[in-house]
Amino acid sequence: MANCRRVGVAIDFSPCSKKALSWAIDNLPHAGDHLILVVVRPEGNYEEGEMQLWETTGSPLIPLSEFSTPHLMKKYGFNPDPETLDIVSTASRQKEIIVVMKVFWGDAREKICEAIDKVPLDCLVIGNRGLGKLKRAIMGSVSNFVVNNATCPVTVVKSHD
């Protein structure tokens, strides 16, 4: 078990991040590895006390059985979409990997880099949204920031939508 790896995938449930997730599953994990979905939610006023507890550290690692259950996901303030759940459930069975999710709140660039160190991750896969040059200049690219600041290997899966 000592050589099991922690493969991270930054996911926001967009078509682009699903493509990155599929690529990661096809190319990276071996039986026994952990596939960790890193989700960053915007900061906001969350009523639930649990979220305030996790705001600085991120949520605990959420097992697949729990993030597949809508009423259990309510406390995190969102539900993963059925397509993403289907992709990871199938991968979990077929590749014999352990799939977990970790939710952070705040700026995606900072929180993804934080996840790399805190989980910690052996590698990370992220989609690029394919913002136009102007938008990228104004907003800065999340994938670009992560590639330049991450402490582990990062694979950017380009989206051709």
Question: Per-residue DSSP letters for 3-27?
Answer: T--EEEEE--SSHHHHHHHHHHHHH
Domain, as residue range, for 142 = 6-158
Residue 1 belongs to a domain: no
Residue 72 belongs to a domain: yes
**35-57 burial: b if 16+ Cβ within 10 Å, else e:** bbbbbbbeeeebeeeebeebeee
Q: What is the CATH number of the domain that holds 150?
A: 3.40.50.620
Instruction: Convert the pLDDT of each residue in 96-107 to its tens digit.
Output: 999 999 999 889
Residue 48 belongs to a domain: yes
Instruction: Convert the pLDDT of each residue in 105-158 to its tens digit.
Output: 889 999 999 999 999 999 999 998 766 676 666 656 899 999 999 999 999 998
Q: What is the number of domains present in the chain?
A: 1
Residue 154 belongs to a domain: yes
Instruction: Convert the pLDDT of each residue in 71-114 to its tens digit.
Output: 888 888 888 999 999 999 999 999 999 999 999 988 999 999 99
- Enter the pTM of the model: 0.90
